[in-house]
Every structure is written in C-alpha cells, then in structure tokens.
Amino acid sequence: MAIKELTIWQAFRRAIEWRIVAVMIDFTVVFLLTRKLVLSVGITSISNGVRTVVHAFWIKKRGHEVHITPDEES
C-alpha cells in the first residue's frame, strides 16, 4: 500500500462524508428534544459547520498515517 499525504480538499471531502451522518443524528436529537424545526436546523448547522472544519484540519494533520488505496486517489 502506498502512503500518500492528503490534500486539504481530500481532507474536507472525508470530513463532509462523516458530517452527513452527524447532521442527521444531531437534527433528530435536537428536534425530538425541542420540537422546534427552526431551532433544530440552526443548532445543527452551527454545530456541524464547526465540526466539519475542525475534522478536516485534524485529518490533514494526521493524513500521513492514512493508507490510500489506488481507487481512493484523486
């Protein structure tokens, strides 16, 4: 396996993939607790926006540890 350092854009792509699941979970939990659609969307948006940026930079920082298979290369 080749070891390749991730670009920031690859890191963002991976972060966004994980954030899709987090958005669904966050929205569901906040909506069930508050029963307010606008509040649920607001909290979910802010929370996941911040986490996406932090996650992308975290992946970039430790990208040298990630093994990339040929079909994942961009």
pLDDT, tens digit (0-9, with 9 covering 90-100), for 14-61: 877 877 888 899 999 999 999 999 999 999 999 988 887 887 787 777
| Cα separation, 8 vs 61, whole angstroms | 9
| Cα separation, 74 vs 41, whole angstroms | 33
The model carries a pTM of 0.57
Per-domain residue ranges of the chain:
2-68
**What value does the CA radius of gyration of the chain take, rounded to a whole number of Å?**
15
